[in-house]
Chains A and B, each alone.
Chain A
Amino acid sequence: MTDTAKKNQPVSQTSEWTFELIEKYHSEIERIAGNFGLSTYPIQLEIITAEQMMDAYSSVGMPVGYSHWTFGKEFVNTEKNYKRGQMGLAYEIVINSNPCIAYLMEENSMPMQALVIAHAAYGHNSFFKNNYLFTTWTSADSIIDYLLFAKNYVAECETRYGEEAVENILDSCHALKNFGVDRYKRPPKLSLQEEQSRQQEREDYLQSQVNELWRTIPDKGQNESNDSPLRYPSEPQENILYFIEKNAPLLEPWQREIVRIVRKISQYFYPQRQTQVMNEGWATFWHYTILNQLYDEGLCTDGFMLEFLQSHTNVVAQPGFDSPYYSGINPYALGFNMMTDIRRICEYPTDEDREWFPDIAGTDWNETLHFAMKNYKDESFIGQYLSPKLMRDFKLFALNDDDRSRQIEVSAIHNNRGYQQVRSTLSEQYNLGSNEPNIQVYDVDIKGDRSLTLRHTQFLRRPLDKSAYEVIKHVARLWGFDVKIESIDEREKIVKTYECSPPK
Chain B
Amino acid sequence: MAQIVDRRLNGKNKSAVNRQKFLRRFRKQIKKSVENIISERSVTDLDKGEKISIPKKDTSEPFFHHGQGGHRDMVHPGNKEFKQGDLIPRPEGGSGQGEGGEASDTGEGEDDFVFELSREEFLQFFFEDLELPNLVKTKLSSITETRKVRAGHTSEGIPSNINVVRSLTGAMGRRMALRGPYKKELHKIEKELIELLKHHNETDRIIIDLRERIVYLKNRIKKIPFIDTFDLRYDNRIDEPVPTTQAVMFCIMDVSGSMGREEKDIAKRFFMLLYLFLTRTYEKIQIVFISHHTVASEVDEETFFYSRETGGTVVSSALKLMASIIQDRYPTNDWNIYAAQASDGDNWHNDSKICIDLLNNNIMPFVQYFSYIEITPDQHQNLWDEYTGIQSGWDNFAMKKIEKTADIYPVFRKLFEKREA
Residues of chain A at the chain B interface (Cβ within 8 Å): 19, 22-23, 26-27, 30, 42-49, 51-52, 54-55, 58-59, 67-73, 75-77, 79-80, 83, 99, 106, 121, 163, 167, 171, 174-179, 318-324, 326-329, 394-404, 406-415, 417-418, 422, 425-426, 428-429, 435-437, 439, 458-468, 470-471, 474
For the complex, what is the distance from the CA of A318 to the CA of B76, rounded to whole Å? 11
Selected from B12, B22, B106, the residue in CB contact (under 8 A) with A324 is B106
Closest to A318 in B: B77
Closest to B115 in A: A76
A403 adjacent to B71 (CB under 8 Å) = yes
B63 adjacent to A175 (CB under 8 Å) = yes
B94-138 interface (Cβ within 8 A of A): 97, 99-102, 104-106, 113-116
A401 adjacent to B72 (CB under 8 Å) = yes
Nearest Cβ in chain A — how far from B9, in angstroms? 9
Looking at B63, B102, B113, the one whose CB has the most chain A CB atoms below 10 A away is: B63
Question: What are the residues of chain A within 8 A of B114 when measuring CB–CB?
Answer: 80
Question: What are the residues of chain A within 8 A of B7 when measuring CB–CB?
Answer: 46-48, 52
Nearest Cβ in chain B — how far from A453, in angstroms? 15
B17 interfacial by beta-carbon distance below 8 Å: yes
Question: What are the residues of chain A within 8 A of B21 when measuring CB–CB?
Answer: 67-69, 72, 163, 167
Question: What are the residues of chain B within 8 A of A55 when measuring CB–CB?
Answer: 12-15
CB-CB nearest 5 A-B residue pairs: A328-B101, A320-B78, A72-B22, A462-B70, A72-B18
* Interface residues on chain B, number (Cβ under 8 Å): 65
A410 adjacent to B116 (CB under 8 Å) = no
Selected from A44, A319, A399, A402, the residue in CB contact (under 8 A) with B2 is A44
Nearest Cβ in chain B — how far from A327, in angstroms? 6
B8 interfacial by beta-carbon distance below 8 Å: yes
A329 adjacent to B101 (CB under 8 Å) = yes
How many A-B residue pairs lie within 8 Å, measured between CB atoms?
270
Nearest Cβ in chain B — how far from A474, in angstroms? 7
Instruction: Decide yes or no: A43 and B2 within 8 Å by CB, A52-B8, A174-B61, A435-B100 being known contacts.
Output: yes
Question: What are the residues of chain A within 8 A of B88 when measuring CB–CB?
Answer: 399, 407-410
One of B79-87, B178-186, B405-413 contacting the partner = B79-87
For the complex, what is the distance from the CA of A398 to the CA of B2, rounded to whole Å? 45
B75 adjacent to A329 (CB under 8 Å) = yes
B4 adjacent to A320 (CB under 8 Å) = no
Looking at B72, B113, B116, the one whose CB has the most chain A CB atoms below 10 A away is: B72
B74 adjacent to A327 (CB under 8 Å) = no
Pairs across A and B, CB under 8 Å, 15 listed: A46-B5, A51-B12, A52-B8, A174-B63, A320-B76, A329-B75, A394-B78, A397-B76, A401-B90, A407-B89, A410-B84, A462-B72, A463-B68, A467-B65, A470-B62
B220 interfacial by beta-carbon distance below 8 Å: no
Closest to A461 in B: B70
Question: What are the residues of chain B within 8 A of A395 when measuring CB–CB?
Answer: 77-80
B100 adjacent to A70 (CB under 8 Å) = no
Question: What are the residues of chain B within 8 A of A47 when measuring CB–CB?
Answer: 4-8
B3 interfacial by beta-carbon distance below 8 Å: yes
